[in-house]
Structure 1
Protein backbone atom coordinates (compact mmCIF):
# COMPACT_ATOMS: atom_id res chain seq x y z
CA UNK A 1 0.00 0.00 0.00
CA UNK A 2 1.31 3.43 -0.95
CA UNK A 3 0.69 6.74 0.78
CA UNK A 4 -0.92 8.23 -2.31
CA UNK A 5 -3.38 5.30 -2.40
CA UNK A 6 -5.25 6.87 0.51
CA UNK A 7 -3.99 10.43 1.14
CA UNK A 8 -6.42 12.95 -0.34
CA UNK A 9 -4.07 15.43 -1.98
CA UNK A 10 -6.80 18.09 -2.17
CA UNK A 11 -7.10 18.03 1.63
CA UNK A 12 -3.42 18.54 2.51
CA UNK A 13 -2.88 21.51 4.82
CA UNK A 14 0.77 22.64 4.64
CA UNK A 15 0.35 25.47 7.15
CA UNK A 16 -1.91 24.42 10.03
CA UNK A 17 -2.11 27.04 12.75
CA UNK A 18 -4.12 25.27 15.43
CA UNK A 19 -4.83 26.53 18.93
CA UNK A 20 -4.06 23.02 20.21
CA UNK A 21 -4.46 19.31 19.63
CA UNK A 22 -8.27 19.29 19.35
CA UNK A 23 -8.24 22.25 16.98
CA UNK A 24 -5.59 20.59 14.79
CA UNK A 25 -7.72 17.46 14.50
CA UNK A 26 -10.82 19.56 13.74
CA UNK A 27 -8.98 21.47 11.01
CA UNK A 28 -7.79 18.26 9.35
CA UNK A 29 -11.26 16.71 9.47
CA UNK A 30 -12.63 19.95 7.97
CA UNK A 31 -10.07 19.75 5.17
CA UNK A 32 -11.29 16.24 4.31
CA UNK A 33 -14.90 17.45 4.42
CA UNK A 34 -14.10 20.48 2.23
CA UNK A 35 -12.44 18.20 -0.34
CA UNK A 36 -15.57 16.05 -0.52
CA UNK A 37 -14.11 13.01 1.21
CA UNK A 38 -16.34 13.26 4.31
CA UNK A 39 -20.03 14.13 4.55
CA UNK A 40 -20.44 17.59 6.07
CA UNK A 41 -23.13 16.54 8.51
CA UNK A 42 -20.73 14.01 10.06
CA UNK A 43 -17.80 16.38 10.62
CA UNK A 44 -18.33 16.87 14.37
CA UNK A 45 -19.00 13.15 14.90
CA UNK A 46 -15.74 12.25 13.16
CA UNK A 47 -13.80 14.80 15.22
CA UNK A 48 -15.39 13.32 18.37
CA UNK A 49 -14.42 9.79 17.26
CA UNK A 50 -10.79 10.82 16.67
CA UNK A 51 -10.66 12.55 20.07
CA UNK A 52 -12.17 9.47 21.73
CA UNK A 53 -9.38 7.40 20.17
CA UNK A 54 -6.86 9.92 21.56
CA UNK A 55 -8.25 9.27 25.07
CA UNK A 56 -6.97 5.69 24.78
CA UNK A 57 -3.46 7.02 24.28
CA UNK A 58 -1.86 9.76 22.28
CA UNK A 59 -1.19 9.05 18.63
CA UNK A 60 1.77 11.42 18.91
CA UNK A 61 4.32 8.71 18.18
CA UNK A 62 7.45 10.81 18.66
CA UNK A 63 9.96 12.47 16.37
CA UNK A 64 7.51 15.36 15.81
CA UNK A 65 4.84 13.09 14.32
CA UNK A 66 1.21 12.29 15.16
CA UNK A 67 -1.12 9.86 13.38
CA UNK A 68 -4.62 10.52 14.71
CA UNK A 69 -7.06 7.98 13.32
CA UNK A 70 -10.50 6.47 13.69
CA UNK A 71 -12.99 4.18 12.05
CA UNK A 72 -16.35 5.76 11.24
CA UNK A 73 -19.44 4.62 9.31
CA UNK A 74 -19.67 7.97 7.49
CA UNK A 75 -16.88 6.92 5.11
CA UNK A 76 -16.99 4.12 2.60
CA UNK A 77 -13.26 3.94 1.95
CA UNK A 78 -10.01 4.70 3.70
CA UNK A 79 -9.02 8.33 3.40
CA UNK A 80 -6.33 10.49 4.93
CA UNK A 81 -4.74 13.89 4.87
CA UNK A 82 -1.50 15.51 5.95
CA UNK A 83 -1.17 18.63 8.05
CA UNK A 84 2.04 20.48 8.85
CA UNK A 85 2.35 22.65 11.97
CA UNK A 86 5.55 24.62 11.44
CA UNK A 87 5.50 26.09 14.96
CA UNK A 88 4.78 22.68 16.52
CA UNK A 89 1.99 21.87 18.97
CA UNK A 90 1.69 19.95 22.21
CA UNK A 91 0.09 16.62 21.32
CA UNK A 92 0.92 14.72 24.53
CA UNK A 93 3.38 12.75 22.41
CA UNK A 94 5.11 9.68 23.74
CA UNK A 95 8.45 11.51 23.73
CA UNK A 96 6.99 14.73 25.18
CA UNK A 97 8.13 16.73 22.14
CA UNK A 98 5.96 18.99 19.94
CA UNK A 99 4.26 17.63 16.82
CA UNK A 100 5.02 19.16 13.42
CA UNK A 101 3.64 16.47 11.08
CA UNK A 102 0.12 15.08 11.34
CA UNK A 103 -1.40 12.38 9.18
CA UNK A 104 -5.11 11.88 9.89
CA UNK A 105 -6.69 8.57 8.83
CA UNK A 106 -10.41 7.78 8.69
CA UNK A 107 -11.67 4.41 7.53
CA UNK A 108 -14.93 2.43 7.49
CA UNK A 109 -15.47 0.26 10.60
CA UNK A 110 -15.58 -2.96 8.58
CA UNK A 111 -12.29 -2.28 6.81
CA UNK A 112 -9.85 -3.18 9.58
CA UNK A 113 -7.32 -4.73 7.21
CA UNK A 114 -6.81 -1.58 5.12
CA UNK A 115 -6.84 0.59 8.25
CA UNK A 116 -4.00 -1.42 9.77
CA UNK A 117 -2.09 -1.53 6.46
CA UNK A 118 -2.37 2.25 6.15
CA UNK A 119 -1.14 2.74 9.72
CA UNK A 120 1.79 0.45 8.98
CA UNK A 121 2.61 2.31 5.76
CA UNK A 122 2.46 5.69 7.49
CA UNK A 123 4.54 4.47 10.43
CA UNK A 124 7.18 2.93 8.18
CA UNK A 125 7.68 6.16 6.25
CA UNK A 126 7.54 8.40 9.32
CA UNK A 127 10.35 6.43 10.95
CA UNK A 128 12.57 7.75 8.14
CA UNK A 129 14.28 10.86 9.54
CA UNK A 130 15.10 12.18 6.06
CA UNK A 131 11.46 11.94 4.98
CA UNK A 132 10.30 13.68 8.18
CA UNK A 133 12.88 16.44 7.83
CA UNK A 134 11.81 17.12 4.24
CA UNK A 135 8.12 17.11 5.24
CA UNK A 136 8.77 19.58 8.07
CA UNK A 137 10.35 21.94 5.53
CA UNK A 138 7.55 21.68 2.95
CA UNK A 139 5.68 24.93 2.37
CA UNK A 140 3.02 23.91 -0.16
CA UNK A 141 0.62 21.04 -0.73
CA UNK A 142 2.42 20.35 -4.01
CA UNK A 143 5.72 19.88 -2.16
CA UNK A 144 4.01 17.48 0.27
CA UNK A 145 2.52 15.48 -2.62
CA UNK A 146 5.92 15.23 -4.30
CA UNK A 147 7.49 13.98 -1.05
CA UNK A 148 4.73 11.38 -0.66
CA UNK A 149 5.34 10.27 -4.26
CA UNK A 150 9.10 10.01 -3.67
CA UNK A 151 8.51 8.00 -0.48
CA UNK A 152 6.12 5.66 -2.32
CA UNK A 153 8.75 5.15 -5.03
CA UNK A 154 11.49 4.52 -2.48
CA UNK A 155 13.47 7.56 -3.55
CA UNK A 156 13.85 8.98 -0.03
CA UNK A 157 16.31 7.16 2.15
Structure 2
Protein backbone atom coordinates (compact mmCIF):
# COMPACT_ATOMS: atom_id res chain seq x y z
CA UNK A 1 0.00 0.00 0.00
CA UNK A 2 1.35 3.40 -1.01
CA UNK A 3 0.53 6.87 0.31
CA UNK A 4 -0.83 7.79 -3.12
CA UNK A 5 -3.35 4.93 -2.79
CA UNK A 6 -5.26 6.83 -0.12
CA UNK A 7 -3.99 10.41 0.14
CA UNK A 8 -6.46 12.57 -1.75
CA UNK A 9 -4.53 15.03 -3.89
CA UNK A 10 -7.34 17.60 -3.66
CA UNK A 11 -7.20 17.38 0.16
CA UNK A 12 -3.64 18.68 0.53
CA UNK A 13 -3.24 22.03 2.26
CA UNK A 14 0.02 23.89 2.81
CA UNK A 15 -1.26 26.83 4.84
CA UNK A 16 -3.43 25.79 7.77
CA UNK A 17 -4.96 28.73 9.59
CA UNK A 18 -6.18 26.80 12.64
CA UNK A 19 -4.36 27.06 15.95
CA UNK A 20 -6.10 24.45 18.15
CA UNK A 21 -6.49 20.67 17.88
CA UNK A 22 -10.28 20.73 17.20
CA UNK A 23 -9.89 23.51 14.61
CA UNK A 24 -7.04 21.68 12.87
CA UNK A 25 -8.99 18.41 12.67
CA UNK A 26 -11.98 20.29 11.24
CA UNK A 27 -9.89 22.24 8.72
CA UNK A 28 -7.94 19.20 7.50
CA UNK A 29 -11.09 17.06 7.21
CA UNK A 30 -12.78 19.89 5.31
CA UNK A 31 -10.36 19.14 2.47
CA UNK A 32 -12.00 15.71 2.11
CA UNK A 33 -15.44 17.33 2.26
CA UNK A 34 -14.49 19.85 -0.43
CA UNK A 35 -13.08 17.03 -2.57
CA UNK A 36 -16.50 15.33 -2.38
CA UNK A 37 -15.29 12.32 -0.39
CA UNK A 38 -17.09 13.16 2.84
CA UNK A 39 -20.71 14.24 2.87
CA UNK A 40 -21.97 17.32 4.68
CA UNK A 41 -24.30 15.02 6.67
CA UNK A 42 -21.40 12.90 7.95
CA UNK A 43 -18.87 15.67 8.47
CA UNK A 44 -19.64 16.48 12.13
CA UNK A 45 -19.79 12.81 13.03
CA UNK A 46 -16.35 12.23 11.46
CA UNK A 47 -14.90 15.21 13.38
CA UNK A 48 -16.38 13.89 16.61
CA UNK A 49 -14.92 10.42 15.96
CA UNK A 50 -11.43 11.82 15.31
CA UNK A 51 -11.54 14.02 18.41
CA UNK A 52 -12.82 11.06 20.50
CA UNK A 53 -9.81 9.07 19.28
CA UNK A 54 -7.57 11.97 20.35
CA UNK A 55 -9.00 11.75 23.87
CA UNK A 56 -7.58 8.22 24.13
CA UNK A 57 -4.11 9.61 23.48
CA UNK A 58 -2.66 12.24 21.22
CA UNK A 59 -1.74 11.23 17.70
CA UNK A 60 1.02 13.83 17.83
CA UNK A 61 3.89 11.38 17.41
CA UNK A 62 6.68 13.91 17.84
CA UNK A 63 9.19 15.60 15.55
CA UNK A 64 6.49 18.11 14.51
CA UNK A 65 4.15 15.42 13.15
CA UNK A 66 0.61 14.22 13.98
CA UNK A 67 -1.53 11.49 12.43
CA UNK A 68 -5.13 12.04 13.54
CA UNK A 69 -7.24 9.08 12.43
CA UNK A 70 -10.47 7.17 12.87
CA UNK A 71 -12.59 4.46 11.37
CA UNK A 72 -16.00 5.72 10.30
CA UNK A 73 -19.01 4.07 8.61
CA UNK A 74 -19.31 6.91 6.06
CA UNK A 75 -15.90 6.09 4.54
CA UNK A 76 -16.27 3.91 1.46
CA UNK A 77 -12.49 3.52 1.22
CA UNK A 78 -9.31 4.74 2.92
CA UNK A 79 -9.17 8.53 2.81
CA UNK A 80 -6.09 10.57 3.62
CA UNK A 81 -5.48 14.30 3.79
CA UNK A 82 -2.20 16.13 4.32
CA UNK A 83 -1.87 19.59 5.82
CA UNK A 84 0.99 21.84 6.83
CA UNK A 85 0.99 24.54 9.48
CA UNK A 86 3.57 27.30 9.13
CA UNK A 87 3.13 28.46 12.75
CA UNK A 88 2.88 25.07 14.42
CA UNK A 89 -0.01 23.88 16.58
CA UNK A 90 -0.05 22.69 20.20
CA UNK A 91 -1.36 19.14 19.68
CA UNK A 92 -0.27 17.43 22.92
CA UNK A 93 2.48 15.67 20.95
CA UNK A 94 4.53 13.02 22.73
CA UNK A 95 7.62 15.26 22.71
CA UNK A 96 5.65 18.36 23.81
CA UNK A 97 6.65 20.23 20.65
CA UNK A 98 4.30 22.01 18.21
CA UNK A 99 3.03 20.08 15.19
CA UNK A 100 3.63 21.32 11.65
CA UNK A 101 2.72 18.27 9.55
CA UNK A 102 -0.67 16.54 9.73
CA UNK A 103 -1.66 13.30 7.98
CA UNK A 104 -5.36 12.66 8.61
CA UNK A 105 -6.71 9.17 7.92
CA UNK A 106 -10.31 7.96 7.80
CA UNK A 107 -11.13 4.36 6.94
CA UNK A 108 -14.16 2.08 6.78
CA UNK A 109 -14.77 0.17 10.05
CA UNK A 110 -14.77 -3.17 8.22
CA UNK A 111 -11.18 -2.74 6.99
CA UNK A 112 -9.05 -2.67 10.18
CA UNK A 113 -6.10 -4.29 8.40
CA UNK A 114 -6.02 -1.58 5.73
CA UNK A 115 -6.31 1.08 8.43
CA UNK A 116 -3.30 -0.33 10.28
CA UNK A 117 -1.28 -0.75 7.06
CA UNK A 118 -2.01 2.86 6.10
CA UNK A 119 -0.95 4.11 9.55
CA UNK A 120 2.22 2.04 9.32
CA UNK A 121 2.97 3.45 5.87
CA UNK A 122 2.42 7.03 7.03
CA UNK A 123 4.55 6.50 10.12
CA UNK A 124 7.37 4.92 8.13
CA UNK A 125 7.54 7.95 5.82
CA UNK A 126 7.25 10.41 8.69
CA UNK A 127 10.18 8.81 10.51
CA UNK A 128 12.33 9.89 7.55
CA UNK A 129 13.70 13.22 8.72
CA UNK A 130 14.57 14.25 5.16
CA UNK A 131 11.00 13.56 3.99
CA UNK A 132 9.52 15.60 6.85
CA UNK A 133 11.92 18.50 6.26
CA UNK A 134 11.14 18.59 2.54
CA UNK A 135 7.44 18.30 3.31
CA UNK A 136 7.61 21.29 5.66
CA UNK A 137 9.37 23.31 2.98
CA UNK A 138 6.66 22.60 0.39
CA UNK A 139 4.90 25.75 -0.75
CA UNK A 140 2.12 24.23 -2.86
CA UNK A 141 -0.12 21.15 -2.76
CA UNK A 142 1.53 20.05 -6.02
CA UNK A 143 4.94 20.06 -4.32
CA UNK A 144 3.56 17.91 -1.48
CA UNK A 145 2.04 15.47 -3.98
CA UNK A 146 5.27 15.26 -5.98
CA UNK A 147 7.21 14.62 -2.78
CA UNK A 148 4.83 11.79 -1.84
CA UNK A 149 5.30 10.20 -5.27
CA UNK A 150 9.06 10.65 -5.08
CA UNK A 151 9.21 9.09 -1.61
CA UNK A 152 7.23 6.10 -2.82
CA UNK A 153 9.74 5.56 -5.57
CA UNK A 154 12.54 5.57 -3.02
CA UNK A 155 14.16 8.54 -4.68
CA UNK A 156 14.57 10.53 -1.48
CA UNK A 157 18.09 11.73 -0.77
CA UNK A 158 20.00 9.40 1.48
CA UNK A 159 18.28 6.20 0.37
Corresponding residue of 2:112: 112
Inter-partner Cα distance in structure 2 for 1:41 and 1:28: 17
Inter-partner Cα distance in structure 1 for 2:19 and 2:148: 27
Aligned-pair distance for 1:41?
A: 0.8
Aligned-pair distance for 1:84?
A: 0.2
Inter-partner Cα distance in structure 2 for 1:154 and 1:74: 33
Corresponding residue of 1:72: 72
RMSD (Å) for aligned C-alpha atoms: 0.6
Aligned-pair distance for 1:137?
A: 0.6
What is the aligned residue count?
Answer: 157
**Structure 1: tracts of 5 or more residues without a match:** none
Corresponding residue of 2:50: 50
- Per-residue CA deviation, residues 97-139 of structure 1 (Å, 9 max, x unaligned), is 0000000000000000110000000000000000000001111
- Per-residue CA deviation, residues 21-74 of structure 1 (Å, 9 max, x unaligned), is 110000011110110111111111100000000000000000000000000001
In the alignment, does 2:124 pair up with 1:135? no
Task: Please report the TM-score for the alignment, with normalisation by the length of structure 1.
Answer: 0.98
Inter-partner Cα distance in structure 1 for 2:47 and 2:116: 20
Contact 2:61 2:67 in 1 (8 A): yes
- 1:31 aligns to what SS in structure 2? helix
Corresponding residue of 2:155: 155
Corresponding residue of 2:31: 31
Aligned-pair distance for 1:15?
A: 0.6
Corresponding residue of 2:61: 61
